[in-house]
Amino acid sequence: MSASLVLLSLILMVLLFTGYYVFRLVSARREFTRRQGRQSALGGKDAGSLSPPLMSARAQEATRATAEVRLHDAPLGLRRISQEPIFVRKRKDGQTTVQLEKRPATPLRYVLDPVIRHVLEQVVARADSDYGKAWSVLAEEDDEGRLRLTRLD
C-alpha cells in the first residue's frame, strides 16, 4: 500500500513539474508574439527583427542639421566595421560605450576584435580631443573617407 502511495506521489510531482514549465513556456511564447506584433505595428523596417530602428533617417538628418559636426581628414576605415553611423558615448567617469548597427551598446573594453577595437579607440581619441571628458557622438565616414563626428549632447 505505501509503495503504491509513494509511486502515485512521484507521478503527481512529475505531472505538476511538467505542467508548470509548459505553462511558463506558453506564457513566454505569447509574450514574444505580442511584442513582435507591437513592433511591426510601430513600423519597424523588418517585422522579424527584435529591435526597432535606432533612429529614423528623418531624425538623423534633423540631428545632423542642429548638432555640432567635426571632420577629420585621416581615414580610419569605419566603413569596414559598419555602413551605419556608430554611436559612441564617454561618461564623466571615463567609461566608454559603443553601439554598432542594431547591436546593444557595449563597453569598449569588451570589444574583442583587435581591428574593430583599434578603430574605435581612434574615434574615442579624436572625440576626446574635440569634446573633452564627457560626450556622445555619431561617428561615420563621409564619401571622401573623412571621419565625421556629430556631437549629440
> Roughly how many angstroms between the first and final C-alpha of the chain, as a whole number?
75
Based on the fold, state whether residues 24 and 71 are members of the same structural domain.
no
Asked if residue 127 and residue 77 are part of one domain, the reply reads yes
Share of the chain above pLDDT 70, in %: 78
Same structural domain, 75 and 146: yes
- 102 with 64, same domain: the answer is yes
Q: Which domain holds residue 103?
A: 57-151
pTM of the model: 0.56
CA distance 121 to 104: 18
Same domain, 37 and 82: no
Same domain, residue pair 40 and 67: no
How many separate domains does the chain show?
A: 2
24 and 72 both lie in a single domain: no
pLDDT confidence bin for 47, thresholds 50/70/90? very low
Rounded CA-CA distance 113/103 in Å is: 15
Of 12, 31, 141, 19, the C-alpha closest to 80 is 141
In 3D space, the residue among 118, 123, 120 whose CA is nearest the CA of residue 149 turns out to be 123
Which among 73, 108, 78 is positioned nearest to 91, based on CA atoms? Answer: 108
